[in-house]
């Protein structure tokens, strides 16, 4: 069992950031309103995700770490029209097979919580514990038993950057959840979780990024755009602050990048890679999302229409604002 899990783990768990992503998505699926992410040594030695979600019942704990065990129902259609997060019951089993795990969890129906330790994917200890509702998972010594994979990891600063990108994007796409992010005992940020997009951006990126942002809000038939863009002269070296979400999911899209460039071109031709946080809503049958969770690529069925809508929305906003 543990060997096949370790092979499967390669699919899901490429690096510490993939662990953070999977655990965060589980916490979100568990209806949490407050989530803490703590990492040490770029997540290589320590990753802790604590949430106040629904928790796992003691009798379900074994099952949660089995491969293909999911409490989330997927029909064939749902897999193609994927709205729920997660990877169909692979994540916890895969992570457990390449690390040592400690989990503390309690549902609102249980008087006591459960604390369990796992080694090589098996629960080796398990006891009752007093704790609040929700789940805390600590992942220690990632890839300790897969040296090839461990060697393949990048420097601590590079791996920390991968994690921060995941945490930032997940926090940006869930403004109604409060995220607290801690790196090596240092508080990085705590988002409010009250639904305010601007305050979420401000909290994560600080005043320098937030101060020149103006709100976009536009609609065209079944497409809706909201977000923030900058209307001042701006040159950046890359697109790292052009962040877009389609139907609540962080995506990378050439169509969106091109739409941004075109939208700025006439009014602010000197701008390069202007800061944009764009949230597009469109019927999910009009987009193809690659169903592998690590891939963020998206394809629009009608690229032209999306492109024109985004370009027009940006142009119109810039026109109306003081440049
Ligand atoms: P999936 O998310 O695809 O169902 P996972 O392996 O990620 O598969 O998780 C397995 C199961 O463990 C989930 O279906 C869920 O029932 C439970 N679970 C995992 N993390 C949490 C959490 N933070 N809170 C509550 N339940 C959880
Ligand atoms: Mg999952």
Asked if 39 and 168 sit in the same domain, the reply is yes
Measure 23 CA to ligand 2 centroid, in angstroms: 7
Domain presence at residue 287: yes
Q: What is the CATH number of the domain that holds 159?
A: 3.30.565.10
Count of domains observed in the chain: 2
Domain presence at residue 108: yes
| Domain edge (last residue) among 159, 190, 221 | 190
pLDDT in tens, 228-275: 999 888 888 999 999 999 999 899 899 999 999 999 998 999 999 999
Asked if 216 and 186 sit in the same domain, the reply is no
Model's pTM, two decimal places?
A: 0.92
pLDDT at 293: 57
Q: Which of 22-36, 257-271, 291-305 has the lowest mean pLDDT?
A: 291-305
Q: What is the CATH number of the domain that holds 275?
A: 3.30.230.10
Instruction: Provide the residue range defining the domain that includes 258.
Output: 212-320
Measure 63 CA to ligand 1 centroid, in angstroms: 10
Q: Among all ligands shown, which has an atom nearest to the Cα of 70?
A: 1
Measure 64 CA to ligand 1 centroid, in angstroms: 6
Domain presence at residue 66: yes
**Does residue 50 carry a pLDDT above 80?**
yes
Predicted ipTM of the assembly: 0.99
- Most informative mutation of 20, 26, 85 for ligand 1 (most atoms within 8 A of CB): 26
Asked if 133 and 274 sit in the same domain, the reply is no
| Domain edge (last residue) among 124, 159, 190 | 190
Counting every residue written for the chain, the total comes to: 323
pLDDT interval class at 1 (50, 70, 90): low
Measure 74 CA to ligand 1 centroid, in angstroms: 14
Asked if 240 and 300 sit in the same domain, the reply is yes
Asked if 138 and 239 sit in the same domain, the reply is no
pLDDT interval class at 81 (50, 70, 90): very low
Asked if 183 and 250 sit in the same domain, the reply is no
Asked if 121 and 186 sit in the same domain, the reply is yes
**Contact status, residue 69 vs residue 89, Cβ threshold 8 Å:** yes
Average pLDDT over every residue of 36-47: 98
Average pLDDT over every residue of 281-305: 82
Domain presence at residue 204: no
Asked if 152 and 23 sit in the same domain, the reply is yes
What distance in Å separates the CA atoms of residue 270 and residue 258, rounded to the nearest whole number? 16
Q: What is the DSSP string of 162-225?
A: HHHHHHHHHHHH-TTSEEEEEETTEEEEE---SS-HHHHHHHHH-HHHHTTEEEEEEEETTEEE
pLDDT interval class at 85 (50, 70, 90): very low
Numbers of helices and strands, H then E, in the chain = 11, 15
Average pLDDT over every residue of 78-107: 78
Output the residue whose Cα is nearest ligand 1's atom 25.
55
Asked if residue 249 has its Cβ within 6 Å of ligand 1, the reply is no
Domain presence at residue 112: yes
Residue at token pair 């290589």: 44
CA angle in degrees (0–180, nearest 5) for 49-52-58 = 85
Rounded-to-10 torsion of CA 23, 28, 34, 36 = 10
- Most informative mutation of 18, 28, 64 for ligand 1 (most atoms within 8 A of CB): 64
Closest CA to 51 of 134, 115, 132: 134
Measure 195 CA to ligand 1 centroid, in angstroms: 25
């Amino acid at each position: 069992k543990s060997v096949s899990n370790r092979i499967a783990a390669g699919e899901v768990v490429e690096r510490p950031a993939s662990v953070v992503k999977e655990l965060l998505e589980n916490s979100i699926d568990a209806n949490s309103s407050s989530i803490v992410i703590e990492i040490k040594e770029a997540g290589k030695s320590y990753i802790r995700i604590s949430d106040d979600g629904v928790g796992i019942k003691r009798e379900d704990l074994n099952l949660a770490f089995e491969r293909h065990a999911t409490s989330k129902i997927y029909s064939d259609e749902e897999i193609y029209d994927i709205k729920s997060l997660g990877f169909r019951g692979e994540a916890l089993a895969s992570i457990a097979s390449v690390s040592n795990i400690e989990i503390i969890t309690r549902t609102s129906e249980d008087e006591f919580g459960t604390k369990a330790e796992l080694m090589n994917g098996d629960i080796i200890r398990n006891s009752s514990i007093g704790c609040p509702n929700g789940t805390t998972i600590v992942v220690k010594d990632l890839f300790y038993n897969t040296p090839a994979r461990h060697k393949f990891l990048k420097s601590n600063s590079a791996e920390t950057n991968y994690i921060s990108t995941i945490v930032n994007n997940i926090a940006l796409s869930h403004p109604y959840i409060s995220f607290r992010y801690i790196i090596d005992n240092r508080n990085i940020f705590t988002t409010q979780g009250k639904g305010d997009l601007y305050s979420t951006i401000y909290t994560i990126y600080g005043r320098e990024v937030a101060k020149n942002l103006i709100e976009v809000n536009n609609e065209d038939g079944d497409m809706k755009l909201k977000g923030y863009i900058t209307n001042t002269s701006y040159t950046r070296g890359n697109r790292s602050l052009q962040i877009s979400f389609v139907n609540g999911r962080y995506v990378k899209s050439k169509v969106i990048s091109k739409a941004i460039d075109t939208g700025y071109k006439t009014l602010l031709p000197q701008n390069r890679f202007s800061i944009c946080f764009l949230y597009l809503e469109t019927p999910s049958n009009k987009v193809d999302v690659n169903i592998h969770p690590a891939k963020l690529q998206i394809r629009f069925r009608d690229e032209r229409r999306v492109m024109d809508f985004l370009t027009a929305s940006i142009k119109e906003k810039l026109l109306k604002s003081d440049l």
